[in-house]
A and B are shown apart, each in its own frame.
Chain A
């Protein structure tokens, strides 16, 4: 018997289609209602933020003219307004904003939230606390790190801690805790160390990071990747302008391309004398990084670059040719000579670099 010949088939079909349509309509109405509620809440939050900021700017004790936060939206508005001020300003305005946090117990609200059973709510609470940069939270962060089972939250706790670093011992503790977690990304680790450098700079103790770098150089408990990211953060923050400690890393880790690459970025500017050596390093990634800074070595490197146009690695050949194209007439002359080379890969790289140089001029 065919299904469609059943006397109830069309009745059932109509009911099913009707139910589906009703469900869809309900879903759309629900989503519109929810969107409207969120929009309204966002507008209210922005208005409250504006009110909070105005009070902080104009009143000595803003808590006297502001309402106490009563719900999550209110707390979020207070947190965002205050953390924006703490992040961007210094002086009396920051003191007022900080006073407001304590007066309305905004930190306590997020501390309570950081103990809920739902991990992403805890993560959010940690992010909020982290943005407030309250020195008092250092011990709290250490305590929650110990008890926190979810690694996604632990990464955030460390990020928060990194913004409160006082000295080399604090950075060392953060590095040891970092080493207990699976490596996340170079960007994350660099940001953590950049935060510590910023915190130390703000406290007038920038040199502490240099001491820390020296302290961990021979420490086998700190993974190589973390050491590399420390060096990168140091370069990004310009905290090792004389390059002395970086040079020690460079000498001590000759067989570790990742460390050498991180060192080149700092040293190429302060000690271009290392360039001929790293341009002939056995690891092609080191040679490639060195090529990016070859212009700092000037025409002294012409012969090294000419050799590298015949390198075994395609990226090196091409970048050597590009580096030559940036070294003026002498570099261009070598490239012109290379276009007739029997090494067809070198000739192609030279032609490509010459075309680019001609287009630029």
Chain B
């Protein structure tokens, strides 16, 4: 079981991820924007963050930058999940230090497998 923080400004998306990942045995917390994400990261201490880019108050890029600059959070793996498919965004996200860039539409079953594989690798 892993602690996963999901960050998206769309309630429907949060609900779907929360339901599926909880069912898969993970402990899930949600945040509705970038600022909320930073707060929840310090209190929840997740093993993995699933992060959208386009959000109010603070974008996903800024969240990654903030997390990577903080000694306590810089090692938390981050999966970006977004509908932005431009090469420039993908490049920027990887340069900031994310682990995976997943574009929407997302197949939940595939995502669960990717998460399990990734967490399995990082835990072993």
B:56-109 near A, CB below 8 Å? 83, 85-88, 104-109
Residues in A with CB closer than 8 Å to B16 are: 53, 57, 85, 88-89, 93
* Bound: A251/B98 CA distance, A: 39
Q: Is B42 an interface residue (CB 8 A)?
A: no
Residues A50 and B11 in contact in the complex (CB < 8 Å), given A88-B105, A89-B108, A94-B105:
yes
Does A348 reach chain B (CB closer than 8 Å)? no
Those of A43-83 within 8 Å (CB) of chain B? 46, 49-50, 53-54, 57-58, 80-81
Q: Does A91 contact B (CB under 8 A)?
A: yes
Residues in chain B near residue A87, CB distance under 8 A: 83, 104-105
Residue A223 at the B interface, CB < 8 A?
no
A53-B85 contact, Cβ under 8 Å, with A58-B19, A87-B105 = no
A328 on the B face (CB < 8 A): no
Candidates A58, A84, A91; contact of B10 at CB < 8 Å: A84
Which residues 16-62 of B sit at the A interface, judged by CB distance below 8 A?
Answer: 16, 19-20
Establish whether residues A91 and B108, one from each chain, have CB atoms under 8 Å apart when the complex forms.
Answer: yes
A91→B107 CA distance, assembly (Å): 6
The verdict on A90 contacting B11 (CB below 8 Å), with A57-B19, A198-B85 known, is no
Interface string of A275-303 (1 = CB under 8 A from B): 00000000000000000000000000000
Interface residues on B, range: 10 to 19
A53, A54, A237, most chain B CB atoms within 10 A: A53
Q: Give the residue of A50, A53, A54, A88 whose beta carbon is less than 8 angstroms from that of B106.
A: A88
Contact A90 B106, CB 8 Å, known A57-B19, A237-B86, A238-B87: yes
List B contacts of A80 (CB < 8 A): 12
Q: A164 CB to closest chain B CB, in angstroms?
A: 15
Contact B19 A237 (CB under 8 A): no
> What's the Cα separation between A86 and B11 when bound, in Å?
14
Q: Which of A49, A53, A54, A202 contacts B105 (CB 8 A)?
A: A202
A57 touches B107 (CB 8 A): no
A10, B13: Cα distance in complex, Å: 64
A86 — which chain B residues lie within 8 A by C-beta?
105
- Asked if residues B108 and A93 are in contact (CB atoms below 8 Å), the reply is yes
Shortest Cβ distance from B82 into chain A, in angstroms? 10
Closest residue of B by beta carbon distance from A85: B12
Among candidates A50, A88, A202, A236, residue contacting B13 with C-beta atoms closer than 8 Å = A88
Decide if B10 touches A88 in the complex (CB within 8 Å): yes
What are the nearest 4 A-B pairs in CB distance?
Answer: A84-B12, A238-B87, A90-B105, A53-B12
Q: List 21 A-B contacts (CB under 8 A).
A: A49-B11, A53-B11, A53-B15, A57-B15, A58-B19, A80-B12, A84-B10, A84-B12, A87-B104, A88-B10, A88-B16, A88-B104, A89-B16, A90-B107, A91-B109, A93-B108, A94-B105, A198-B85, A236-B88, A237-B86, A238-B85
